[in-house]
Amino acid sequence: MKQLWAPWRLQYILEGSSDECIFCIKPAEEKDRENLILYRGKHVFTIMNLFPYTNGHLMIVPYQHAEDLNGLNEEVLLELMTQTKMTVAILKQVFSPQGFNIGINLGKTAGAGIDEHLHIHIVPRWVGDTNFMPVIADLKVIPQHIRATYDLLIPFFKESEGGGRI
């Protein structure tokens, strides 16, 4: 039997779940590189998924703690979508994906890992990125270290800042 080493997963296993909302804590810490925050707007921020589905899996998150869309005002909703649009453009430029999955999982039943704080997932997709590994081995292969992905993306977000703060 062959082994696939993924030492970064140990952090996820050891941390377990917390009663604190990471989407409230992380932007307040002002440690953007450490927390994988790529962009800060007036009402939303863009953060990398620490345990991504594919390379470049990002999330757009309102600073306001809300469980669903009804908890957000029009200004926040507009910035959520504007930032989603900008993020897709950056991911197209950097990774040349052939498609995207963009979505919001409302509630645990819908697949939300963090269901108390609404966020939009943006997952770049390529032909053939779903192969035998997740089906047979319940395993995903991410081809680039997450810090290398951050370093690759951050200049594009700084360049596209448009009123945001990095």
Q: Which residues are catalytic?
A: 119
Q: Quick one: how many helices (H) and strands (E) in the chain?
A: 6, 5
Residue reference for tokens 């140990």: 10
Q: Provide CB contacts within 8 A for 4, sequence distance 6+.
A: 139, 141
